[in-house]
Amino acid sequence: MISLQEILTSIEIGLIFGVVAIGIYMTFRIINFADLTCDGSFVLGAAVTGVLIKGGCNPYVALMASCCAGGIAGLCTGILNIKCKIADLLAGIIVAFIMYSINLRIMGYIPNITIINDITIFSSQNNMAILAVFIAIIVGGLIYLLSSDIGLRLRAIGYNKHYAAVSGISIDLFTVAGLILSNALIACGGGLFSQYQGFCDISSGIGTLVTGLASVVIGEKVLPIKKEAWLVMSCIFGSIIYRIFISVALHSNSLGIKPQDLNLVTGCLIVIIMIIKRREKVRAQ
Amino acid sequence: MPNKLILEMHNIHVRDTLKNLNLDVALGEFVLIVGANGTGKTTLFNVISGALPVENGTIILNGVDITNTPRHIRARRISNVLQDPRRGTIGEMSILENLRLAYNRSENDIPIESKINYFKEKLSTVNMGLEDRLDDYVGNLSGGQRQALSLVMATITDYDILLLDEITASLDPRMADTVMTITNDIVKQEQKTCLLITHNTKHIDMYGTRILKMKDGQLMS
């Protein structure tokens, strides 16, 4: 049976991955760009944070540096897509592929860095409060941005690229801006996760996209309100629910599920949600 | 004395669709463009709005050479209403958000309260009660209401020329007449220049100061 402490831990990890889910929501839902850079930018954020903290840097400054690094990764995907005319999926795959070598280089060719004995934002032991403040700032900032004129333009290119062009929006500029913002958030999530865990690992980004998408889809199901503020919040709720679900599933001895079955459980969860959503859509029509 | 020229197109060549096309449009003209499908009418609009680059020729708008000006910059002076109102508006956004988006083309900025009053005033010109439904999602509007909104969005900021691409093609005859009347009123009231592509013979007889026929990639009177 799952303990209260494990549920609290799931909520904390859910909050961290909520930032990642918002980043994925930015590209997949807001600007309608299938960006696969996230598996690379998540590790990039973790690597930059890990190396800087190991070098004695302030953990908040390290997080900001992670965001900037993630933004640069998003910029690279944008340039490949817009200037080199490489399809969105492929551009993201290429950048994520390249990121593996860059991340290893950043980490000094060591596959993992331990920062468990260094000062992180979680050193004060009050993890939940710190994460709540962090999430409030990010969510508040994003809601403000999305309801502003700039946010309106970002949303317009996702909903209707044709009209966006007619209404004088530079599609290229706003696509790149969306990618920078998305990957900065994902890298921020990576930085937060490495500080939370006390280490960063070169393979920690595997499955970032799938777990992020799972959170987005669950969130949309739990909070089916079309207002932007709710949609951003739904990513956080979706991420928390996803983490609790996984935790409960892995602790259900009667089901015989082992930690190694994580991907199987995640995949099945996404498939079930997609089937439910599809059926509801058909029923509505 | 003739009005000054607002649009000048010289020797425009695009693929095999437009062949050395020339067009001069004076300020305040309402030009109807007719012709069979596939003769290049929509291509002509795409070239004017910057969606398609020209292989040869020059485009001058209000005295400024815009041949190489990007589409999003041209959109500040060239307004468009598209054939399908679902493409010309954003169904997932509210009427207010659509209008804000359209107003963003303008370089002027006014406080949001004044903006809302201005939007309501503009919406009231189309007589569809849209001014009382600012928070409604555009996806919930009928085709005619959406096209009327699209027209308001196109004319909400100052512009040099209005491009209307078969704007009544997807509407029933009654709604098509209503939208055309609204269009004509707006263009006359604001004394603006307008190009309209149409196949509707009734509209050809009723509106326009000049009719041009597109044939084999060229325009003729």
Nearest Cα residue in chain B from A166: B75
**If you average pLDDT over residues B157-163, what whole number do you get?**
91
- Chain A residues within an 8 Å CB radius of B69: none
Per-residue pLDDT band for B170 (boundaries 50, 70, 90) equals confident
CATH of the domain at A133: 1.10.3470
Q: Report the domain count for chain A.
A: 1
The beta-carbon neighbor of B72 closest among A155, A160, A165 is: A165
Which residues of chain A make contact with B146, given a CB cutoff of 8 A?
none
3-state secondary structure A139-169: HHHHHHHHHCHHHHHHHHHHHCHHHHHHCCC
- Quick: pLDDT tens for A272-284: 877 887 787 777 6
Yes or no, beta carbons of B75 and A168 under 8 Å apart: yes
pLDDT at A39: 92
B100/A149 Cβ within 8 A: yes
Residue ranges of chain A whose CB lies within 8 Å of a chain B CB: 149, 152-153, 155-156, 159-160, 162-163, 165-171, 226
d(CA B59, CA B71): 13
Does the pLDDT at position B1 exceed 60?
no
Contact between residue B160 and residue B149 where contact means Cβ atoms under 8 Å apart: no
Q: What is the pLDDT of residue B78?
A: 93
Residue A118 lies in domain: 4-284
Spans in chain A with pLDDT lower than 50? none
DSSP 8-class letter at B4? P
SS3 B111: coil
What is the overall mean pLDDT for chain A?
90
Alpha carbon separation from B64 to B46, B55, B167 (Å, rounded): 18, 19, 28
CATH class of B5-220: alpha beta
Rounded to 5°, the CA angle B26-B146-A281 comes to 145
